[in-house]
Structure 1
Amino acid sequence: MAIYELRTYNVTVGKMAEVVSLYKNEGWPALAKHPQKLMGYFTGDIGALNQLIHVWKFDDDADRRAFWAGVFSDPDFMAFAGKLRPLLQSQENKLMLAAPWGPTL
């Protein structure tokens, strides 16, 4: 059964443009080298203005752990992460399962 990981990064007020630029120039190129598990990245328009939200889909927990182990062992990604972390206030991760009705993605 697929699992979905919802990651929410709370960005320091005034730093979102820097975070977006960093992701575009360093984060995404580093992540793109790894198997594509990403469903989407989102930023808030109303309400949660300083949040970067991303959703990932994995086959199971072993697939999830293997993916992140590969990403975290990538020197390019870790260099990006070192620049990103000071721009964040907090991070929240949630693991979710699809409901037994409705569309499946």
Structure 2
Amino acid sequence: MIVDERTYAIKPAHVRDYLDLYVAEGMALQVGHLGHLIGWFTTDVGVVNEVVHMWRFEGLGDRETRRAAMEADPAWQAFRAKTSPFVVSMRSRILRPTAFSPMR
């Protein structure tokens, strides 16, 4: 099992716009393709104007297959075109649980 953690820096004053658009048009698409959503978060202290989301996958192959299908979906491409003006930068990390982690 792995966790894909994605952090998006959003233009100041547009975090709510980004999240509203995601809920209205992107969430169902993304959950349909990627499956197990762990959560979506906003930063409150430290670096602000960020949204973070985390997804659980069986492994790197599962992640690659699911993300490729999502990227090939024209509806997802249309959604990304609407949200990209809000995004300043993006970073992604793959997290692997330790042997003693409750989530494995």
TM-score of the two chains, using structure 2 as the length reference: 0.91
More helix by share: 2
Distance, in Å, in 2 between the alignment partners of 1:35 and 1:46 is 29
**Large movers: runs of 4+ above 3 Å:** none
* Alpha-carbon RMSD: 1.4
1:24-39 paired onto structure 2 within 5 Å: 24-39=23-38
CA contact (8 A) 2:34 2:67 kept: no
Name the structure 2 match of 1:7: 6
List alignment gaps of at least 5 residues for structure 1. none
1:1-105 paired onto structure 2 within 5 Å: 2-104=1-103
More deviation in 46-55 or 31-40? 31-40
Deviation at 1:35, TM superposition (A): 4.7
Deviation at 1:83, TM superposition (A): 1.0
Distance, in Å, in 2 between the alignment partners of 1:97 and 1:33 is 23
One-letter amino acid of the structure 2 residue matched with residue 28 of structure 1? M
TM-score of the two chains, using structure 1 as the length reference: 0.90
List alignment gaps of at least 5 residues for structure 2. none
- Report the CA distance shift for 1:12/1:59 in structure 2 as closer, same or farther (over 3 A): same
Q: Alignment identity in percent?
A: 29
Deviation at 1:104, TM superposition (A): 1.8
Distance, in Å, in 1 between the alignment partners of 2:57 and 2:73 is 19
Distance, in Å, in 1 between the alignment partners of 2:18 and 2:46 is 18
